[in-house]
């Protein structure tokens, strides 16, 4: 069991690299790595993360959302030996000798192209670093959005997730379960381990010392909120977890 939280971004990236290595070795095909920090710059994170694939001696390709970001990465990384391309770029097509595919900050704008490339990967590991695939404004909250979640987004597994919140931290480091930590002065204490990513309501119940599931292990519904705007805010919050 992981019994500590990282105290620096560098330590978190090191944990994420180890979790990703383990996930790949265990045959997890679609992997997400997320550091939920506001205004975090993804380029330095990617530069520190990529060596894990080199250390594993894997033939990999790196994809950015657009050609401009890919060109900037090639420049900043001194034209690396591995391929750095934009999603959908002709020169970045998936080839038989490719072993791993790393997507840097893919967004909901590219979600259909990413889904297609995941299908082309045919079981080879796909890693998504700082994904932003589930944007309600783009994919919607109706039938089409629900289909996308069921067909594709639900197939993505979190190898690493670190989200500091007010008074708590939601954490996952594969192969350990999801963990909820409570802030206690200058440190944190582990208050719950969960098999799946908890909703905002479940985290609130746990932190308040209330049961989040009933005797059958089913989530306990929250008390209904009064007013249309409150209900809408609650609905959108649940969808974005």
For 100, the enclosing helix (H) or strand (E) is strand 100-104
For 71, the enclosing helix (H) or strand (E) is helix 67-76
pTM: 0.82
Tell me what pLDDT residue 135 has: 58
Same domain for 155 and 208? no
Is residue 1 a part of any domain in this protein? no
Q: Is the dihedral of CA 129, 197, 209, 239 positive or negative?
A: positive
Is residue 213 a part of any domain in this protein? yes
Same domain for 75 and 151? yes
Same domain for 171 and 146? yes
Same domain for 24 and 38? yes
Same domain for 129 and 212? no
Instruction: Provide mean pLDDT across the span 196-202.
Output: 92
Is residue 115 a part of any domain in this protein? yes
Tell me what pLDDT residue 212 has: 53
Mean pLDDT lowest among 27-31, 154-158, 217-221, 230-234:
230-234
Residue 238 has pLDDT above 50, yes or no: no
The model's confidence at residue 18, banded by pLDDT at 50, 70 and 90, is: very high
Same domain for 120 and 147? yes
Same domain for 133 and 164? yes
pLDDT digits (tens, 9 = 90+) for 76-115: 999 999 999 999 888 889 999 999 999 999 998 888 899 9
Of 181, 197, 213, the one marking the end of a domain is 197
Domain total in the chain: 2
Range of the domain at 215: 200-241
pLDDT digits (tens, 9 = 90+) for 50-75: 999 999 999 999 999 999 999 999 99
Instruction: Provide mean pLDDT across the span 169-179.
Output: 96
């Amino acid at each position: 069991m992981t019994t500590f939280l990282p105290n620096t971004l560098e330590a978190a990236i090191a944990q994420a690299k180890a979790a990703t290595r383990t996930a790949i070795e265990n045959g997890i095909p679609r992997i997400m790595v997320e550091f939920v920090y506001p205004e975090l710059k993804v380029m330095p994170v990617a530069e520190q993360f990529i060596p894990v694939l080199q250390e594993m001696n894997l033939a990999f390709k790196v994809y950015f959302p657009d050609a401009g970001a890919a060109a900037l990465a090639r420049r900043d990384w001194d034209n690396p030996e591995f391929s750095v391309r934009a999603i959908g770029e002709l020169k970045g097509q998936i080839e038989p000798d490719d072993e791993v595919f790393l997507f840097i900050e893919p967004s909901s704008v590219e979600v259909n192209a990413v889904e297609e490339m995941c299908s082309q990967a045919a079981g080879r590991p796909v890693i998504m670093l700082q994904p932003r695939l589930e944007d309600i404004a783009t994919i919607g909250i109706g039938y089409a959005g629900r289909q996308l979640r069921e067909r594709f987004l639900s197939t993505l597994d979190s190898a690493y997730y670190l989200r500091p919140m007010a008074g708590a931290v939601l954490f996952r480091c594969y192969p350990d379960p999801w963990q909820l930590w409570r802030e206690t002065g200058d440190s944190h204490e582990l208050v719950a381990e969960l098999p799946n990513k908890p909703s905002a309501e479940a985290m609130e119940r746990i932190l308040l010392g209330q049961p989040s599931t009933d005797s059958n292990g089913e989530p306990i519904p929250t008390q209904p909120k009064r007013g249309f705007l409150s209900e809408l805010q609650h609905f959108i919050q649940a969808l974005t977890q």
